[in-house]
Amino acid sequence: MIVGIPKEIKDKEKRVAIIPAGVELLVESGHKVILEKGAGEGSGISDDDFREEGAYIVDSGQAVYHEADMILKVKEPLPEEYPYLREEQIIFTYLHLAAVPELARVLAEKKVVAMAYETVQLEDGSLPLLDPMSKVAGRMAVQIGAHHLEHIQGGSGVLLGGVPGVPPSRVVIIGGGVVGTNAARIANGIGAQVTILDINPSRLRELDDLFYGQVTTCFSNKYNLKKIVPQADLLIGAVLHTGGKAPILVTEEMVKGMKPGSVIVDVAIDQGGIVETINRCTSLSNPVYVENEVIHYAVPNIPGSVPRTSTFALTNTTLPFVSLVANYGYREAARVKKCLAMGINIVKGKVVCAPVAEAVGLPYTPLKEVLDL
């Protein structure tokens, strides 16, 4: 198979979907790997590093799309890339289609095989290819929040951990999964007062055990959110309904109740976000806006700001799955690995992932009716 890796073109996105070790493995297995010139530079990987393992370097993203049977990416294709996509070409990347219905339509019309990292799901419900970037984003969320709370950034001027004689600030995290847990770990570590809300009682029990009671856990419902959100100096959105659009849990009324200069980091923005006053993505170049005197941060590619760490963390986990698809083809790989079948969102013009179909307003067709699995 020809595996192609274009340079990411989303604003300030410097991650790349393969590392030299991945090229080595794919080439050893008999595949051809082509990369766009400079694709790895932002992650500290030169074209020569890739060439040494047998990759071919081409001048443009268009050339990569033209030649490759499978496109490996980090973020979803942008409109400039839509014309390059073609029937039966596999695109394996973060798609987060619930937040970009027009891309879902393009992928269906062009009959692309659209495989999303974020819906590859193991039998225990975990999401192995979302996990590494959720760890990065969760840890970054606290760092980002602390930065924007600084007075010079327009924030309320509080230090998250406080100092002796001055109480710490309050960090409220909605969603206690991978993002929420990693955010709690950092916020707790710097001495903030942390509350995590989740709807899953067993997850709340696990979090209570994990943090030895140093973090307050709370059941997530409208009543509790109304009481707790206004107390937050830093509010972190970390909810996920796999594949589906994120539910709006934080209303404008709750935001109005927050102190001026408080910060919201809605990590769940890649699935549409959980905050009523966040109705658009921001970018790494222009990450915040102020509404109701509260700073709103809604960047859908937070790990892109630490590409060196993120690229290696991401590709360490994607490579075994990429290798399976390259070795067996997407049909056979999906037949032998149910988790990869769950990664397929769109194939042969049909949306085969129910939550995505519902979120983007297209009909759902079960995968087994489209592919003879």
> What residues act catalytically?
96, 270
CB of 301 to ligand NAD, least distance (A): 5
CB of 267 to ligand NAD, least distance (A): 4
Angle at 81 between CA 78 and CA 86, to 5 degrees: 125
- In angstroms, rounded to a whole number, what is the distance separating the alpha carbons of residues 215 and 189? 10
Among 322, 239, 222, 286, smallest CA distance to 18 is for 322
CB of 299 to ligand NAD, least distance (A): 6
Q: Of the two residues 43 and 156, which places its CB atom closer to ligand NAD in the complex?
A: 43
- In angstroms, rounded to a whole number, what is the distance separating the alpha carbons of residues 218 and 201? 9
Q: Of the two residues 20 and 180, which places its CB atom closer to ligand NAD in the complex?
A: 180
Q: Of the two residues 309 and 365, which places its CB atom closer to ligand NAD in the complex?
A: 309
Six-digit token string for 294: 């509260």
User: Is 124 exposed, middle or buried, given 0-12, 13-18 or 19+ CB atoms closer than 10 A?
Assistant: exposed
CB 216 within 8 A of CB 245: no
CB of 97 to ligand NAD, least distance (A): 12
Residue nearest to ligand NAD (CB): 177
CB 42 within 8 A of CB 304: no
CB of 54 to ligand NAD, least distance (A): 31
- In angstroms, rounded to a whole number, what is the distance separating the alpha carbons of residues 115 and 93? 7
Q: Of the two residues 86 and 205, which places its CB atom closer to ligand NAD in the complex?
A: 205
- Non-local (6+) Cβ contacts of 164 within 8 A are none
Among 270, 274, 263, 260, smallest CA distance to 220 is for 274
CB of 17 to ligand NAD, least distance (A): 15
Q: Is the dihedral of CA 339, 344, 347, 350 positive or negative?
A: positive
Q: Of the two residues 284 and 324, which places its CB atom closer to ligand NAD in the complex?
A: 284
Q: Of the two residues 130 and 362, which places its CB atom closer to ligand NAD in the complex?
A: 130
- In angstroms, rounded to a whole number, what is the distance separating the alpha carbons of residues 313 and 319? 11
Q: Is the dihedral of CA 234, 240, 244, 249 positive or negative?
A: negative
Residues at the contact surface with ligand NAD, assessed by CB under 6 A: 118, 130, 133-134, 137, 174-180, 197-200, 203, 220, 238-240, 247, 249, 267-271, 299-303
